[in-house]
Structure 1
């Protein structure tokens, strides 16, 4: 997470390191905002590393006759030529008083000597590596909505991740839409489904959740809606299969495991385990096995083994719900 610098002066040199573009852009934006909070007239020079010429940094950071302050941003700093890299390291050791320098580097080997030199020279370092863990992205969603003065529960945040995917720019945009378009303070799963069920993933998972929870009417209505809006039958089968496999994994897990140990054992994020534990009510091993058999038959039929994919899907949903109740 980035720390807001709106109320403090920015460091003379800031190094933003990492390959998460959204967070890198935000880090740069916060430095610029802090500089302009101190001096609204600060001029911003936004440069691309491979195009920075030797001596250009010295020219841009030279004292102004009028005492104007400035911000120099060098993106893709790994692409600067060797002499410019040396100029940057030298400047960082003795930065100008009225200039803020921001270097953006994606990490990795290229340009590492410059990065190390800038670090040693005393630059402020902001790390913005990609979020690879579900828990990190879940925390990002909650933080985004908190920034907007809203709250979201774990299940709803998980549903948003399933619907939108892992790209932080898309997640941030989705959070912004929800914060703007939904009333009240808390955002629930119904709001997420209302705005994102048009996507294949959320349509499939919405159908799957309704089916494994025994809500036959809802599941059939959502299934027909998904088909009408172009969701591929094979994705709907896959979503239901995934929901049932989650039930089987959680239901068969050792009873002595809790929290992080259980998540590690199952290879599932905690929020998904929590949802499956709630959905397990009413299910037994035999019922899950019958439901999975029905899914396997539907999978074969929607892939060419049957004449009517819609009928195969409806029959699958009916069988899944009946398997849960034992009828």
Structure 2
């Protein structure tokens, strides 16, 4: 027996979470019936009536799992068929529907919810705070502990893609033992870490111009575009300004208030030492000018990013 209902809706844009939700639902159903047939239907190639055909009871017995992907991209035929199947109910079959978001297919979503579908959310994970929580949870599920500095190092090394981040977490869980530290992350992803804009920003904001230039040139030689480097510089300076004016409080409390990760608050507090409002303001203005230059306003994006790194370091040194 299984507690999975006959209708399951996976709603949200984060495909890693959606795929995991679908896989875990299929796994639960196959634990109850190892012979359950899995049928995948894609919105792009769907033909009218396919859903009813596959969802109907088999002449040879056994259960079916019908997975409909990308309902948000479906034509009216698929939307109408989902509405009909949800209203009619299913026998010896489970319908799993994935919808990334938006208004398209709303009629089918309403029909599934009205029929009592289990709704599993797959919300977007975009902010550093959300990604930090994702990484921490990956290690918690893997029954491992990761230090805050290691979370930061992993985010800096792997960056924006959640699928790559999940893969990096799995590699560390499988290939290491004990607590994951920043040194462990450095050992596995050191080349990537050194080539990121985060290291450049750390050195520049800390006033170390020679190290900032060395890391910058390494990053550029590794193929990193000047645009994201300038974006990281801007983000780090803004975080210093926000934390410096936010008052006292625990890192966790300020992180929640400012929409940041606790390690970002700790870093901003550390980086704020040695800065004052005037010099921080001039550094932020320099980054704004560099942002214009690297996005097409200037003649040489590489020169623009080198100049702003030196300007930030000089302001930090006073």
Instruction: State the shift of 1:14 in Å.
Output: 0.8
- How far apart in 2 are the matches of 1:266 and 1:29? 35
* Matched residue, 2:265: 273
Asked whether the equivalents of residues 14 and 124 of structure 2 are also in contact (C-alpha less than 8 Å), the reply is yes
Q: Identify if the C-alpha distance between structure 1 residues 270 and 284 changes in structure 2 by more than 3 Å, giving closer, same or farther.
A: same
Summarize deviations over 1:4-59 as a string: whole Å, max 9, x none: xxx95422211112222221111111111011111211111111235444443343
How many residues of Structure 1 are paired with residues of Structure 2 in the alignment?
Answer: 309
User: What are the residue-to-residue correspondences of 1:202-221 with 2, within 5 Å?
Assistant: 203-210=196-203, 212-213=205-206
Spell out the pairing of 1:173-322 with structure 2 (5 A cutoff). Answer: 173-181=167-175, 183-199=176-192, 203-210=196-203, 212-213=205-206, 222=215, 225-226=218-219, 229-231=222-224, 239=232, 243-244=236-237, 246-251=239-244, 253-255=245-247, 262=254, 268-281=260-273, 283-285=274-276, 292=283
Moved more, 189-198 or 259-268: 259-268
What are the ranges of 5 or more consecutive residues in structure 2 without an aligned counterpart? none
Change over 3 Å in CA distance of 1:235–1:178 after alignment to 2: same
| Unaligned segments of structure 1, at least 5 residues | 1-6
2:18 to 18, 24, 34: 24
SS in 1 for 2:131: helix
Q: Within 5 Å, which residues of 2 pair with 1:14-53? A: 14-49=8-43, 51-53=45-47
Contact 1:200 1:235 in 2 (8 A): no
Taking structure 2 as the reference length, the TM-score comes to 0.74
Note if contact 2:67-2:96 (Cα within 8 Å) is conserved in structure 1. yes
CA shift at 1:213, angstroms? 4.9
Q: Give the aligned partner of residue 128 of structure 2.
A: 134
Quick one: structure 1 residues 213 and 156, their matched pair in 2 at CA, closer, same or farther if it must change by over 3 Å? farther
More displaced, 171-180 or 211-220?
211-220
Q: Give the alignment's Cα RMSD to 1 decimal.
A: 4.2
Match of 2:82 in 1: 85
Cα distance, 1:195 vs structure 2:
4.1
CA distance in 1, matches of 2:31, 2:122: 24
Mark the structure with the bigger radius of gyration.
1
Aligned residue in 2 for 1:71: 65
Compute the TM-score of the two structures, normalised by the length of structure 1: 0.72
**In the alignment, what sits opposite 1:95?**
90
Alignment map for 1:100-115 (pairs within 5 Å): 100-115=94-109
